[in-house]
Amino acid sequence: MRFASQTSVALAISVASLAESRPSLSSSDAGKTSRRWLRGSDKIRGVNLGSQFIIERWMAGDAWSSMGCGNSNDEWSCVQLLGQDAADAAFRTHWQTWITADDLKEIQSYGLNTVRIPVGFWINEDLVNDGEYYPRGGLEYLDYIVGNCTELGLYVIMDLHGGPGSQFPGQQYTGHVVDSPGFYTGDNYERAYQFLEWMTERAHTNSAYFSVGMLQVINEPVHSGEYPSEAADMIADYYPNAWTRIRDREAQLGTADSDKHHIQFMGEAWGSGNPNQNLPDTTFAFYDDHRYYKWDTAVSATQDGYISAACSDNRGGSDIIVGEWSISVADDAQYNSEFDIRDTDANNDWYKQFFAAQVQTFELSGGWVFWSWKCDYIAGFNEWRWCYKSAVDAGIIPKDAASAASMSPC
């Protein structure tokens, strides 16, 4: 279904009827509805909608090229290259076609119950300063995707993936690749708080956003070992104030406790420090754990090594969600005889086991969100190790996500 065929994104949806179709999102109290994910109900099983609203060239190279972005490395530089109006038109075409209503239906059909939507702060164009280069017009497409998620009963984690000033250096996911992170200032914190307040209000007052139950206050900030003062300031200042600004806005809106958002931070395993250290409260707090065995040098880059690492892992309790992971392996091993997937299916059975082992381990915690649903032909071939949809098509990932843990070799 093309976006252009949808004349309205303000969906007239009955909260009660939605709750009846989504038992994993409804309250344990009979007749009561809630947007919160209930711990102890179904595990979170989901996919990221990566490169929808923040395009990462490494995983969407064909789309990037078709937009005319050339050799530019991020959204900022593409807007500079094309000029604002031409860039807006190019990005609009991408937003219409990268994730469609059919994609979301397919996601639901595979037994997935959650999508994590990475967005940049600039999707609220009022927060963009003069001299900053970001595409305009994405909000109506976000409304469209979120509205379809609500219709389908897909729980939504709204992830502030790209913060003002860029929260991590050298990364396309920030929307602006920088040498030194600029997020950790009072002015940029304030813009992030305003984004979170705006999204909080939008989620509580727009019926299309009923499935938005979790707000992630920032994705992948700097590590304390590399940027100790920035990480410490974020823990001391940004995290508690982000919490307070969300809760204060909910109080102003008269939001019932059963309807308040879960608020998500990067977990301590990420390396920025203890996110709880200065929070005024931790009721409905969740934590995001990105677990890529690919980049863990402590893991032996062999088939047995990866399976052993996944089976023996312990990510934490039910408030921990592994919000990004894949079945990719170390760069220097991915094309050897144990792991190659180019023009061969010799290793397919092993990848099935690697997927299932991770699912079983992550479901000992709160659940998982795979990175990512869709990608282009990475490195010139169908690199399904990063792409859930392609991996299902290849027969690696089962069509019933709930069945994966029982297939684990652990």
- Dihedral over Cα of 141, 247, 46, 320: its sign: positive
Cα–Cα distances (Å) from 192 to 267, 335, 356, in that order, read: 19, 41, 37
78: its two tokens: 């593409």
How far is the C-alpha of 200 from the C-alpha of 410, rounded, in Å? 40
Q: Which residues are catalytic?
A: 220, 324
pLDDT computed for residue 201 by the predictor: 97
Q: What mean pLDDT value characterizes the chain?
A: 91
- Name every residue whose Cβ is closer than 8 Å to that of residue 272 and which is 6 or more positions away in sequence: 221, 222, 223, 224, 231, 234, 235, 266
Start-end of H helices in 28-157: 61-66, 75-82, 84-97, 101-109, 139-152
Q: List the domain boundaries for the chain.
A: 41-407
Tell me the per-residue pLDDT of 135-144, one tens digit each, with 9 for 90 and over: 999 999 999 9
pLDDT computed for residue 300 by the predictor: 97
pTM equals 0.92
Cα–Cα distances (Å) from 256 to 32, 33, 247, in that order, read: 11, 11, 11
Confirm if 117 and 52 have CB atoms less than 8 A apart.
Answer: yes
pLDDT computed for residue 266 by the predictor: 98
**At 258, is the pLDDT very low, low, confident or very high (cuts 50, 70, 90)?**
confident
Architecture of domain 41-407: Alpha-Beta Barrel (3.20)
Pick the range with the lowest mean pLDDT from 9-13, 33-37, 364-368, 400-404.
9-13
pLDDT above 50 for 352: yes
Tell me the per-residue pLDDT of 276-333, one tens digit each, with 9 for 90 and over: 999 999 999 999 999 999 999 999 999 999 999 999 999 999 999 999 999 999 999 9
